Structure 1
Amino acid sequence: MKEARSSSWSDLLPEILGLVLRRLPSLADRVRLRAVCRPWRSNAQLDPLPPLLPWLTLLDGTFLSIPDGKIIRMPIPDKGFCRGSVDNWMFFVHNSDGDCSLMNLFSKATLNISKLDITWLNGNSRYYNSHFYKLMAPLPLESSPGSLVALEGGGRLRICQPPIAVDLRLHLDDITFFNGKLYGLNGNVLSIFEINYGLNGKPKISSVRCITSYPTFKLIPPQPLPDTCLLLSYLVECCGRLLMVRRMIGCNPEIKPCPLESDRTAGFEVYEADLSTKPGQWICVRELGSQALFVGMHCSKSFPAGECTGVEENCIYFVRDYFLGNDAADPLGDSGVYNMKNGIIKPLLSETAAVPQHRGGRRRPTWIFPTDAM
């Protein structure tokens, strides 16, 4: 009994500490635990842990942890406007001259991109089609800082190998890298881009091939959909599959296709690209298994869900980023969690989390996926 009373917290067995860590999916909680003492810090790095909870950027430059609703404040460039993200890298436009950069939110590593024509980022329209921009990289930028980065927006596809960038005029709904190759979606048509390098060493797109036909049938949603819908499409790589996620937003037919603040997401359809046939086919997907999808115009990603993460499996997490006017009291707007099994949409945050206060700002809603390299 005397020896038990004299034991310190630093003597906690590593396997017990690991069990505690597995139930702490929040980055802030893991950092606090590791800061207790050196043994805890070293023992916490022995076993792989579930992924950290995703974050959502808010308009005022803060971050919202999903689904626990914790507000995180991280130093970011004061004069830069966040226009998108890829994993835990943020894309900033610094001025009207087109100076742009990528910054790792945690290591603060920065990759500069040559000046871009960003007139498409400065439009006055508050609707989604004037401000669409999406970044993708074939490899994690931490391990491959010289990797290609694809940036789509304003009817242009930009292939960047920082600091070099080249443009291609082309309308796309979304882009993603899949098995090391760049794919683009226009309506239901999937295209693949062949990328090589010119004599000057600049990356360039040598050819574009359409490789899919239209879906052979539609999903029958569990819940009835409005007669008039705005359709948004996302490309997401999920466990070795390339998925097209179609989001249906109920609209007022008198002002179609522009959404209003009052419009709400009604449902989703998910299709997998079968590239084994010519042309490729879109196959209906009715469940995601243990995965969850986080979709958005500026970042989409699959996430291994489970009891330890707090993220629900077989669900689609979404946020309103198609309407860029000043939100009302609720900065989350048309955000939520869509259950693939029953078609029910729940709030984005857990029942115990408070909805963040609207403080305005000029940031854009985008997903951030923290890494546990601490």
Structure 2
Amino acid sequence: MAGSLSVARSPDWSMLPPELLQTIARKLPDISDFVKFRAVCTTWRSVSDPPPQLPWFLEVKGGGYLLENFTGNLRFYSLFSGKIHTIPSPKSSGNWVRGPAHDYIALYNAKSCRISLLNPLTGRKVVIPFLDIDMPHPVWVGPDPIKSGEPVVLSGKSADFETGFLALYQPVQREWVVIEEPCLCSLGCCYFNGMLYVNEEVTETGDTKVIDTVTQKVVHVVPPPPEDDYECDAIMSVMYLLHSGGDILQVVLHYNDLLEADCHFHIHRLDLQSGNGGKPCWVKISSIGDQILFLDRDNGFSLSCRDFSGFRGNFIYFIKRHRDVDVRSLSLLCRYDIEEARAEPLNCPFVKGGTWIVPSLR
């Protein structure tokens, strides 16, 4: 009709093709944005797989790993967005957080002595069968271990504190395999491809044992690397063992807790093949390539920068103990440039410490 006005119709966003929705979803590296994306409509909700996620930093209160006076919320800091995410999580109340455990939080209830894995985003909680072990600490927990059948590896102490234990829970068989270690504690250890790598840092030797988890036998004993001259005024040190890009690394942080950014890392790669005269040894390295390390105060894991746009490899994100002018013990979240041998504090609001978790909807 002459003179009539045509009204522009809004596009029907629910009719976007699936391949385009997948492309859009891959551009959302913060999982909170992905959740909002899936909430648009039923069609968009069909996109079930988020892109690889950078870890969030979980706040722990009370200056340690205890969530005893927990009010029902967990707080996370996102490296990518710089945002704080608060997630209701009543299932965490009254537990000790034992992390990092990839996309789960490993919880320990001191009253019931029960160990459980919790995904704080989905609320999924998996209670692991009872094990008589004091204050267990995760050595390795892979993504969705119950579904994948990969073992959950813990370290801990016996009831009399005379002996250390390494324990593997096998989800398929629903049973524990316990390996006794002649040391008080085995925090310096990691798991990869059926082998446990245990650092005897509390003994005089400082050797690293390589243990076959099937036979429970020690297949290699590797002497510690030569001591290096510290490149900072270090008065404290922390040693980590972790798997990174197919290698086993020994990463040692030397730092001064009175100076904010004064610290240095020494990194060695385990060579089980050639070594010195055919014997396994640690080889000092100056680069970890495209890998990024995420360390808490006891343990850590490695991710590839190729999965994250805008992030470079050869960096370490770590927690550094620091005392301020009032001699309060604070935890600084820092980033270390391995190539430049330089650390810088990051703008993280959590000063009482924490651990890492990879946000997941599994």
- Give the TM bin, normalised by the shorter chain: 0.7 to 0.9
State how far apart, in whole Å, the 2-side matches of 1:271 and 1:39 are: 49
| Alpha-carbon spacing, 1:107–1:166, altered in 2? closer, same or farther (3 Å) | same
1:342 aligned residue (330, 340, 344): 340
| Alpha-carbon spacing, 1:177–1:117, altered in 2? closer, same or farther (3 Å) | closer
Tell me the TM-score normalised to structure 2 length. 0.75
| Alpha-carbon spacing, 1:38–1:246, altered in 2? closer, same or farther (3 Å) | same
| Alpha-carbon spacing, 1:310–1:58, altered in 2? closer, same or farther (3 Å) | farther
Q: Give the structure 2 partner of residue 170 of structure 1.
A: 182
* Structure 1: 4+ residue segments shifted above 6 A: none
Q: Give the structure 1 partner of residue 164 of structure 2.
A: 156
SS of the residue corresponding to residue 335 of structure 1 reads: strand
| Contact 1:103–1:109, Cα closer than 8 Å, also in 2 | yes
Are 2:317 and 1:317 aligned?
yes
2:247 aligned residue (241, 244, 247): 241
Q: Which has the larger radius of gyration?
A: 2
Structure 1 counterpart of 2:289, one-letter code: G
SS of the residue corresponding to residue 79 of structure 1 reads: coil
Q: Give the structure 1 partner of residue 67 of structure 2.
A: none
Offset, 1:108:
0.9
| Alpha-carbon spacing, 1:321–1:279, altered in 2? closer, same or farther (3 Å) | farther
2:270 aligned residue (273, 276, 280): 273
| Contact 2:289–2:314, Cα closer than 8 Å, also in 1 | yes
Q: Give the structure 2 partner of residue 199 of structure 1.
A: none
Q: Give the structure 1 partner of residue 77 of structure 2.
A: 64
| Contact 1:100–1:113, Cα closer than 8 Å, also in 2 | yes
**Unmatched runs of 5 consecutive residues or more in structure 2:** 1-5, 62-73
Structure 2 counterpart of 1:29, one-letter code: D
Q: Give the structure 1 partner of residue 54 of structure 2.
A: 53
**What is the root-mean-square deviation of aligned Cα atoms in Å?**
3.5
| Contact 2:100–2:138, Cα closer than 8 Å, also in 1 | yes
Q: Give the structure 1 partner of residue 70 of structure 2.
A: none
Offset, 1:343:
1.5
Offset, 1:148:
4.5
| Contact 1:151–1:158, Cα closer than 8 Å, also in 2 | yes
Bigger RCO of structures 1 and 2 (CA < 8 A, at least 6 apart) = 1
| Alpha-carbon spacing, 1:267–1:68, altered in 2? closer, same or farther (3 Å) | farther
| Contact 2:77–2:85, Cα closer than 8 Å, also in 1 | yes
| Contact 1:296–1:321, Cα closer than 8 Å, also in 2 | no
Q: Give the structure 1 partner of residue 355 of structure 2.
A: 366
| Contact 2:261–2:344, Cα closer than 8 Å, also in 1 | no
Larger strand proportion of the pair: 2
> Percentage identity across aligned positions?
23
SS of the residue corresponding to residue 92 of structure 2 reads: coil
Structure 2 counterpart of 1:26, one-letter code: D
1:103 aligned residue (118, 121, 133): 118
| Contact 2:105–2:118, Cα closer than 8 Å, also in 1 | yes
Offset, 1:341:
1.1
Structure 1 counterpart of 2:109, one-letter code: H
How many equivalent pairs are there?
323
State how far apart, in whole Å, the 2-side matches of 1:191 and 1:145 are: 25
**Unmatched runs of 5 consecutive residues or more in structure 1:** 122-131, 197-204, 251-259, 350-354
State how far apart, in whole Å, the 2-side matches of 1:69 and 1:50 are: 18
| Contact 1:53–1:309, Cα closer than 8 Å, also in 2 | no
